[in-house]
Amino acid sequence: MLPFSYTLRSLFVRRSSTLLTVFGIGATVAVVSGVLALRQGFTTMFSDSGRDDIAVFLRPGSTNEGDSRFRRQLGDQLMKSLPEIAKDAEGRPLAGMECYLAILREKTSGGKTNVAIRGIQPRGFAVHGKAVRVVEGERFKPGSDEIIVAKKLAARIRDCRLGDVLVLNTTPLKVVGIFESDGPYGSEIWGDLDRVLAALNIDNPNRVVAKMRSGTDVPALAKRLKKHKVYPARVLTERAYLQSQTAGLSVTLLVLGVMLAVIMGLAAVFTATNTMLAAISSRTHEIGILLATGFRPVPVFLSFLFEALLLGLLGGAVGCLMALPLNGLETGAMNFNTFTEAAFAFRVTPGVLTTAVLFALVLGLVGGAFPAWRAARMRPVEALRRA
Amino acid sequence: MIRLENVTRVYRRGGEKLTVLDGLSLDMEGGKFYALMGPSGSGKTTMLNLVGGLDRPDSGHVAVAGEDVGALEGAALSQWRADNVGFVFQGFNLIPVLTALENVMLPLSLTPLSRAERRKHAEFALELVGMSDRLSHRPQQLSGGQEQRVAIARAIATDPGIILADEPTGDLDRDSADQVLGLLERLNKEFQKTILMVTHDPAAAERAQRIVNLDKGRLADDPREGA
Ligand SMILES: Nc1ncnc2c1ncn2[C@@H]1O[C@H](COP(=O)(O)OP(=O)(O)O)[C@@H](O)[C@H]1O
Ligand SMILES: [Mg+2]
């Protein structure tokens, strides 16, 4: 086996082409990790914030609350009669109907975007518990034309700061509180169910949410309610519901990531191949000496492959360094299921970094394989004749 | 020890055939210092490469210490080279990114020796060529003569029986050339190495015990044997 220092110093001797290649691989890795971090941030926000003890009831056949409609009487009946639903101290079901709609609003930076507005019933706060935290002002009063706005929206959307008045169609709604939430609720506007429905001129809510008694078998409940004669519903846990909402964007980002990985990866592999071919060509005589000394083609092949792998590793490290500052950076992206804008952060997780480094190693490996093979196949006599 | 039997080596380039060695037969004794002379293009390097197992004859046999070198292949041939032959070339003998010591340790990494033993062997070889004070110098920090001496140290590091040197003094000034030739003489006399040295320089050839003259791929008479 050829010594490690041989590989390391060979890379260092031709610093400029090494740096160029490392940077090429690094840029590729950074872009791909950026997309992966975006996907990670999106997925994490949706799936990690969903709770297993909250059940979401949709109209059978609908995939998201936007296209679900629940008749009020049926919702009331369901909440009152399902034994699995937890009760509050006064014996009332910890459940509530919610309406949900995307409304077009102006951004403070200009242009328009869809923002989700949700109307909830008085016990809705109890259902969602600590997931929704008012950090400024106070909760809206039941039955009033007051709203609370997610902190992430307050600065980005016009008329959303504390004390502002947001006009919905013709109804003025006063912003009395700012709230935080880690999940998708963190990009919404919340108000009283009846008032929001009235402002939007809609009769029925979109879904029922309920806190379930501990130990409730939600899949079994789902099966039972699927074909229920009075109030048929599609039931799933809040976590499962939110996970299903990420599928579209998640796949899109994955496809984008793979496409970028392939296109930029090809360019990076090409650079790496070129660098290694140039290295091997200028070291032909050296390879002749190695082979003449008795080194076999396989160790020579491995040594050059290792050199390329090291290029990949360095590129991966550089790529990670370039991607790391993205971590925590907030951005808005479209939820393609409901067509509302959701704000979330890039998440450069250890998983993302591991993928990035592995990807860089693959780039080095693929780029180095052919040059290394060429080096190993050289005939010592001919290699030695080249000065 | 080294026996060439009716060895032919033909290069084909385009449609042309170039017969470099033309039915060459030659016996060389073990433990002797041979000089191989002849005009440029007469096939000296080709012959050296055949003896060292870097090349194969088109016909005929090359046997070294009873081993049919031309018949060895792949790993067996590499191993045979590592065990039996040390090479010294005209110039650019060393790996530029490795120090003198590392260059000499390189062929030793093909042996089962431990790292410490490899280092000991390499240091001994470098001491033998008078380069003990240059262990951590890179080739470009050495003079041509010093580089050749390190190359000789590398060639003898694994203690092979045969040293093949292709114009080892070709690029050197008189004094450096003398040192290198003196070293080869010493390796032959003290350590009984069989040495085959290609040279253009009659003065260098005089240091050898036997002179083989090649001309157009055939043997010309050794002027001293004729006398
Ligand atoms: N790989 C090769 N392909 C074609 N011709 C070659 C090759 N190697 C050497 N030759 C030719 O063979 C002849 C002998 O070469 P060589 O053995 O190097 O001679 P010398 O070392 O005596 O100068 C030269 O004419 C050289 O050009
Ligand atoms: Mg020659």
**For position A333, what pLDDT does the model report?**
58
Residue B144 domain-assigned (yes or no) = yes
Tell me the nearest-neighbour CA distance from A314 into chain B, angstroms: 20
Region B200-221: mean pLDDT is 89
Give the position of tokens 């006599």. Answer: A381
CATH number at residue B35: 3.40.50.300
Could you give the CA distance from residue B188 to residue B209 in angstroms, rounded to a whole number? 10
Here the tokens at position B224 are: 């001293």
> Which structural domain, as residue segments, surrounds residue B129?
31-42+73-222
Provide the residue type at A96 as one letter: G
Residue B188 domain-assigned (yes or no) = yes
Q: Which residues in chain B (84-103) have CB-CB distances under 8 A to chain A?
A: 87, 89, 91-98, 102
With a 6 Å cutoff on the Cβ, whether B12 touches ligand 1 is no
Q: How far is the CA of A121 from the centre of ligand 1 (A)?
A: 95
**For position B224, what pLDDT does the model report?**
47
**For position B227, what pLDDT does the model report?**
38
Residue B10 domain-assigned (yes or no) = no
Residue B85 domain-assigned (yes or no) = yes
Tell me the nearest-neighbour CA distance from B1 into chain A, angstroms: 21
Which residues of chain A fall short of a pLDDT of 70? 331-343, 387
Residues of A with Cβ-Cβ distance to B91 under 8 angstroms: 387
Give A272's contacts (C-beta < 8 A, 6+ positions apart): A21, A24, A25, A308, A311, A312, A363, A364, A366, A367, A368
Residue B114 domain-assigned (yes or no) = yes
Residue B103 domain-assigned (yes or no) = yes
Give the number of whichever ligand sits closest to the CA of residue B216. Answer: 1
Question: Could you read off the pLDDT of A283-309 as tens digits, one per residue?
Answer: 999 999 999 988 999 999 999 999 999
**For position B218, what pLDDT does the model report?**
85
With a 6 Å cutoff on the Cβ, whether B11 touches ligand 1 is yes
Cβ of residue B136 closer than 8 Å to a chain A Cβ: no
Q: Can you give chain A as a three-state secondary structure string? A: CCCHHHHHHHHHHCHHHHHHHHHHHHHHHHHHHHHHHHHHHHHHHHHHHCCCCEEEEECCCCCCHHHCCCCHHHHHHHHHHCCCECECCCCCECEEEEEEEEEEEEECCCCEEEEEEEEECCCHHHHHHHHCEEEEECCCCCCCCEEEEEHHHHCCECCCCCCCEEEECCEEEEEEEEEECCCHHHHEEEEEHHHHHHHHCCCCCCEEEEEECCCCCHHHHHHHHHCCCCCCCEEEEHHHHHHHHHHHHHHHHHHHHHHHHHHHHHHHHHHHHHHHHHHHHHCHHHHHHHHHHCCCHHHHHHHHHHHHHHHHHHHHHHHHHHHHHHCCCEEEEEECCCCEEEEEECCCCHHHHHHHHHHHHHHHHHHHHHHHHHHHCCCHHHHHHCC
Nearest CA residue ID for atom 9, ligand 1? B46
Give the position of tokens 């008045």. Answer: A165
Residue B82 domain-assigned (yes or no) = yes
Could you give the CA distance from residue A266 to residue B124 in angstroms, rounded to a whole number? 50
**For position A286, what pLDDT does the model report?**
93
To the nearest whole percent, how much of chain B has pLDDT over 70? 97
**Contact yes or no for A343/A332 (Cβ under 8 A):** yes
With a 6 Å cutoff on the Cβ, whether B20 touches ligand 1 is yes
Residue B108 domain-assigned (yes or no) = yes
- Number of structural domains in chain B: 1
Contact: A3, B49; criterion CB under 8 Å: no
Report chain B's mean pLDDT, rounded to a whole number. 92
- Atom nearest to B44 CA in ligand 1: 22
Contact: A293, B110; criterion CB under 8 Å: yes
With a 6 Å cutoff on the Cβ, whether B199 touches ligand 1 is no
Measured CA distances, A289 to A255, A258, A284, B29, B93 (Å):
47, 42, 9, 27, 7
With a 6 Å cutoff on the Cβ, whether A106 touches ligand 1 is no
Question: Could you read off the pLDDT of B143-201 as tens digits, one per residue?
Answer: 999 999 999 999 999 999 999 999 999 889 999 999 999 999 999 999 999 999 999 99
**For position B226, what pLDDT does the model report?**
41
Give the number of whichever ligand sits closest to the CA of residue B46. Answer: 1
Region B111-135: mean pLDDT is 95
Residues of A with Cβ-Cβ distance to B75 under 8 angstroms: 296
